[in-house]
Structure 1
Amino acid sequence: MQNYYTSKIVLITGGAQGIGLGLAQAFALEKAYVVITDLDWEAGAEAMAWLRKQNLAVEFMPCDVSKEEQVQQLMNKVRQQHGRLDVLINNAGIANPARKPLASLPVEEFDQVITVNLRGPLLCAKYALPLLEKGTHPTILNITSTRAFMSEPNTFGYTAAKGGLEALTHALAVSLAPQQIRVNAISPGWIETGPWQKESRKVAPQHSPQDQEQHPVGRVGTPEDIAEAALFLCSDKAGFITGQSLTIDGGMTVKMMYHE
């Protein structure tokens, strides 16, 4: 990005593992100062140590984005240490959708997914707003999911939350336009995050030919695929793009599937 991110302050929620860790590495490699926040202290410490071994400028601040007071405290720390925020990436979420039939679905589980995956990004945007207003060409990027547009059976909370986050993206884009804050989303498809987990959860990818063939590009996605798009959307190269969602799924959602 031709030094675009040099000295930029980037906050990534859920940044200690998976797509979030891939995003953290990518922005830090572009010379941004990256603040990782995550509920998992162990993963956060491992992520920070791994990134610092690469001589990257990163910091870990633990936070549960579903807790308003913790989000307030997080943004206060960012304000005290950096005074501004240039990029907010709302990536934190409950990643594995619970698959329970509607008749036996505990409402509490549905509420928990909505609270983390939808309320969390709203809280982060709300309390980051004063910091973003002090940033340079500030942007918000929401990480949603292709499950916002298509479903497997019995994934009510996750699908509803990601669909809501898609809508929240354009609501924020229009509402924050007077402050010249752009807001976009990336909707990932099947992204292999096994190698990007903390050590106790790390697994090697194992994909069958059928897994690969579901994707017109011939492979499952990686966190690097998401990171490359994020670097573009949060830069001035995307200065005329706001309120949009970019699907990155190797073409999986546009391929008609038949069983003979």
Structure 2
Amino acid sequence: MESTQRVALVTGGAKGIGRGIVLHLAAAGWKVAFCDTDQTAGEQLVNTSEREICFLPGDVASEHDVARLIADTMSWAGRLDAVINNAAIADPHTGPVEELSLEQWQRRLDVNLTGPFLVAKHAVPHLRKSQGVIVNMASTRALQSEPDTEAYAATKGGIVALTHALAMSLAPDIRVNCISPGWIDTRAWQGGSDKVEALSQADHHQHPAGRVGTPEDIAALVAYLISPEASFITGQNFVADGGMVRKMIYEE
């Protein structure tokens, strides 16, 4: 990719999948700004990277913070070509629905769904100038569920719908797609100990692809979707889960 001068903003970029995206895009030559509420992890990533990356602390659920993040990105880089809305409260389990507090429900909506809307809202004027791209991070939980995950599932289903709505509203200037990851092993990317217990063979072998996913799997798909090679793709949800949503599972 000839991406030396292009600039990406990654939300929730200090750990997990977001960290993988930051490192992948920076290695490909992008200038990458990233935000996170975990200031320690964000600063650690900048201090250990030799790439051109910039950490901007902030909460995507705050419109004040989001406006500042976009302004600071423009001040740092002078342009904006891609936004990856990755920030989210990742724990899907909130207990039985009759015990789910409105506060828990609302906080997940604020971060997981309202956050991407706010980032898009404030980034769109700059993305129009660059004919840029938005990639939202949904989840296979937008398509299938375990018990006691109502708040998370609702936000990720909302991301899929927000994606195709934005794609139509912003066409043809800005392309908008989303990715629905399945089981991605982010334990070594959470800013803690490098010693991570290996997953079992059963964990890997239950996937038609033969293994659990990695942050690099998602980062590579992001890189493709924001590249010129994907210029005919917009409004789509890409499931990256090793084939699990296509696997018919019944208890024997």
TM-score by length of 1: 0.94
Residues 31 and 77 of structure 2 are in contact (CA less than 8 Å); yes or no, is this contact kept in structure 1? no
Which of the numbers 77, 80, 86 marks the counterpart of 1:82?
Answer: 77
Match in the other structure for 2:179: 186
Residues 11 and 35 of structure 1 are in contact (CA less than 8 Å); yes or no, is this contact kept in structure 2? yes
Following superposition, the deviation at residue 81 of structure 1 comes to: 2.5
State yes or no: 1:249 paired with 2:244.
Answer: no
Residues 31 and 52 of structure 2 are in contact (CA less than 8 Å); yes or no, is this contact kept in structure 1? yes
Q: Distance in 1 between matches of 2:18 and 2:25?
A: 11
Match in the other structure for 1:50: 48
Residue 36 and residue 112 in structure 1: after superposition, are their counterparts in 2 closer, same or farther (change >3 A)?
same
Following superposition, the deviation at residue 116 of structure 1 comes to: 0.3
Deviation digits for residues 109-153 of structure 1 (CA, Å, limit 9, x no counterpart)? 011001100000000000111221222x30000011000000000
Which of the numbers 20, 23, 26 marks the counterpart of 2:24?
Answer: 26
Match in the other structure for 1:37: 35
Match in the other structure for 1:158: 152
Q: Distance in 1 between matches of 2:217 and 2:74?
A: 31
Q: Distance in 2 between matches of 1:258 and 1:218?
A: 19
Residues 83 and 131 of structure 1 are in contact (CA less than 8 Å); yes or no, is this contact kept in structure 2? no
Following superposition, the deviation at residue 205 of structure 1 comes to: 4.4
Q: Distance in 1 between matches of 2:168 and 2:108?
A: 26
Q: What is the one-letter code of the residue matched to 2:78? A: G
Q: Distance in 1 between matches of 2:206 and 2:109?
A: 29
Q: What is the one-letter code of the residue matched to 2:18? A: G
Which of the numbers 73, 83, 91 marks the counterpart of 2:68?
Answer: 73
Q: Distance in 2 between matches of 1:205 and 1:63?
A: 32
Q: Distance in 1 between matches of 2:238 and 2:40?
A: 31
When structure 1 is superposed on structure 2, of 96-105 and 139-148 the one drifting more is 96-105
Residues 7 and 81 of structure 2 are in contact (CA less than 8 Å); yes or no, is this contact kept in structure 1? yes
Match in the other structure for 1:217: 209
Match in the other structure for 2:115: 120
Following superposition, the deviation at residue 212 of structure 1 comes to: 1.4
Deviation digits for residues 207-250 of structure 1 (CA, Å, limit 9, x no counterpart)? 22221122001110000100111111111100000000110000
Following superposition, the deviation at residue 203 of structure 1 comes to: 5.3
2:9 match: secondary structure:
strand
Q: Distance in 2 between matches of 1:222 and 1:215?
A: 13
Match in the other structure for 2:126: 131
Residues 12 and 88 of structure 2 are in contact (CA less than 8 Å); yes or no, is this contact kept in structure 1? yes
Q: Distance in 2 between matches of 1:133 and 1:166?
A: 22
Residues 34 and 57 of structure 1 are in contact (CA less than 8 Å); yes or no, is this contact kept in structure 2? yes
Q: What is the one-letter code of the residue matched to 1:223? A: P
Match in the other structure for 2:190: 197
Q: Which consecutive aligned stretches of 4+ in structure 1 deviate over 6 angstroms post-superposition?
A: none
Q: What is the one-letter code of the residue matched to 2:179? A: I
Residue 121 and residue 205 in structure 1: after superposition, are their counterparts in 2 closer, same or farther (change >3 A)?
farther
State yes or no: 1:259 paired with 2:245.
Answer: no
1:185 match: secondary structure:
strand
Aligned residues: 252
Structure 2, unaligned runs of 5 or more: none
2:177 match: secondary structure:
strand
Structure 1, unaligned runs of 5 or more: none
1:48 match: secondary structure:
helix
Identity %: 48
Q: Distance in 2 between matches of 1:156 and 1:203?
A: 33
2:47 match: secondary structure:
helix
